[in-house]
Structure 1
Amino acid sequence: MSLQMRVVHFCMGLVPPLLQSETVTEQIALHAPQPAPMPARMRGRFTATCDKGITRVFPKRGLCPGGVLIYLHGGAYAYPMVAGQWGIVEGLIDRTGLPVIIPDYPIAPAHTATDAFDFVQPIIDEAQAEFGRVILFGDSAGGGLALSLAMQRRDAGARQVDGLVLYAPWVDVTMTNPRIEEVQRRDRVLRVP
C-alpha cells in the first residue's frame, strides 16, 4: 500500500464508517448529491458531452484509435459519481489515450439492479457498433456491475466486451461470505448492514 493510501486509510479510521447501518445508508441515499460534473481543471485537456444520462469524455489531443472504455462508478449502488472519481477517468484517458463513456446508471433506493442493467446494456451495444473494441472499467459497486453485465452478455449469447478492469469490485452483494467478518473491521467506509 502506498504512503498516500496509508494516510487516507488512517484518516478514515478517525471517524465512524460512513455507511455504518442500513438506516444511515438509506438516509444518505435519499439525500444523495447530483452527479458531479467534470471539474474545471480537466476542461482544458478534455471535451465532455452529456446526453440522456451518458457522459462521453475525449482527450483534446492524442486520441488513440482502437476502442473505448466504459467507466462504471462506485457508490454502493446508492450514490452517483462524485467529484473524486473524475481523477480515475482522467487517469484512464491519460494512460490509454482512449475515450471514456460514463453511464449515469440508475441507483437505489429509487431503482433496482434490473434498471441499471437495462440502462447500461444498450450503451455497450452502441459503443461496440461505434468503436469496435469496448472495455468495461468498474470500481467498487461499478466493478460488481461490470462483472454482472459481462456475465449476462455471456449467458445471453450477446457479443462480449473485449475486457474487464475491476477495481476493488463489490462482487458479493448478498454479503454472506463467511470471511467477511475478518475484513469488516479494516473497511473504513462500508459495513455489512
Structure 2
Amino acid sequence: MPSRRHQLLAWAVPRIRKASELESPEIERARLAEWQAAAPRTLPTQLVRGFEKRFGVVTEMLTGPAGDFASYVVTPRGTDPRRTVLYLHGGGYVSGIDPNHVRYATRLAVALGARVVLPDYPLAPDHSWRDSHAVVADLATRWAQDSADLVIAGDSAGGGYALALALTLRDRGGPQASRLVLHSPWVDLTTSTPETADFSARDPWLKLSKLEAYAGWWAGSPDDLGRPEVSPALGDLRGLPPTLMFCGTRDTLAPGCRMLERRAAEADWDLTYIEVADLIHVYPLLPFVPEAQDAWARTTEFLR
C-alpha cells in the first residue's frame, strides 16, 4: 500500500499542476504559448538550499535548426568532477526545466561527485524533435569524450529523450554512455499499447487526450511518430548500456514501460525495471516520500 505522504502528493500534485483533459488543440496551443512566453529563461534553483554557495553554473548556448537554446552545466563548488550526468527534463515536451528537476539533478551531482548538464531544449508545439535531437546528441558525444564516465538520465518525456539519445549514440559508433536512468519514461508516443487507456483512467495527473496532442506536435508529422528519435521503445534496442527504469501503475506511461521491458529482453539489453503498484507518475522525484527514497537508494547503488 502506498505511503500516506505519497497519497497526499497523489492528490495535491495534479491540482497544483492543474491537470485537465484537452479542450481542443487550438485552445491548448494558445494556453501553452502564453505559459511558455511568461516562463523565465533561467535555471530555476529555488528548491535547492544555498544553491549559489554550493554550486557553480555555466550556461552554454547550443545552436539548432530553429535557433539557439541554453544548456546549463551545474558543478559542486570546490570539485573537479570526472563524471558527467546528462539530465533530460520532463514536461511532455511542452514544459521547461522546473525546480524539481534542478533539485534532483543537484542531488545526483553531490551523490556521484559529478557535474550535471541540463539542456533546455526547444519545446512543442512550436518545435519538434528535429530542432534539438542532433544538437543534444552532439553535446552528449562531447561530454562522453571529455569525461571519464557519462550517465544519461531523464524523467517522463525527458526519459524518452534520454533513451532516444542512447540509440543515436550507439548508431554513431563513437563514445557511449556507461549507464541510463529512466523515471516513468515516455517511450512510445504512438500509444500503441492497448492497455494505455485503462491505465490513463486511473492516472490522476497525465491526461491521454493531452498526451496525444503533445506527441503529434513533438513528432512534427504523423510519419515521424514511430521514429526511434520520437518513440525509442519501437527502435532496435540491441547494444544499449545497462539501464535502470522506474514506473508506478497509476501512470498512463506504464504500458509503454512494460513494452520496453519485453522488447529489452528480446534484444538481450540489460534493463532493470522496477514497477511499484499504485504509485503516480515520476514518483522517484517526489519530495519526502518513502517510495522515492527507496528509488533514490537503488539509483545511487546502480550508478556507483
Amino acid at match of 1:49: V
SS at match of 2:59: strand
Aligned twin of 2:40: 34
Q: Name the structure with the higher helix share.
A: 2
Q: Please say if residues 140 and 168 of structure 1, whose CA atoms lie closer than 8 Å, have aligned partners that are also in contact.
A: yes
Contact 2:141 2:169 (C-alpha < 8 Å) held by counterparts: no
Instruction: Report deviation, 1:78.
Output: 1.1
Which residue of structure 1 aligns with residue 59 of structure 2? 50
**TM-score, structure 2 normalization:** 0.58
TM-score, normalised to structure 1, is 0.88
Q: CA deviation at 1:84?
A: 2.5
Between the two proteins, what is the percent identity of the paired residues?
Answer: 27
Equivalent position amino acid for 1:183 in 2: F
Q: Give the partner amino acid of 1:109.
A: P
Deviation, 1:19, is: 5.2
* More relative contact order, 1 or 2 (CA 8 Å, 6+ apart): 1
Q: Give the aligned partner of residue 67 of structure 2.
A: none
Please report how far the alpha carbon of residue 130 of structure 1 lies from its aligned counterpart in structure 2 after TM superposition. 1.5
Give the CA deviation at 1:79.
1.1
Aligned-partner residue type, residue 7 of structure 1:
L
1:100-139 map, 5 Å: 100-139=116-155
| Aligned residue in 2 for 1:144 | 160
Q: Deviations over 1:8-46 (max 9, x none)?
A: 102245689625215354233212223452425311211
Conservation of the 8 A alpha-carbon contact between 2:152 and 2:181 = yes
In 2, the alpha carbon distance for the partners of 1:39 and 1:15 equals: 19
AA aligned to 2:146 is E
Q: How does 1:1-193 map to 2 (within 5 A)?
A: 1-12=2-13, 18=19, 20-21=21-22, 23=25, 25-31=28-34, 32=36, 33-39=39-45, 41=49, 42-52=51-61, 53-61=70-78, 63=79, 65-193=81-209
Runs of 4+ deviating beyond 6 Å: none
Matches of 1:141 and 1:112, distance apart in 2: 13
Q: Kindly provide the amino acid, as one letter, of the partner of residue 37 in structure 1.
A: L
The corresponding residue for 2:291 is none
Task: Give SS of 1:44's match.
Answer: helix
Letter in 2 for 1:26: R
Q: Distance in 1 between matches of 2:80 and 2:198?
A: 43
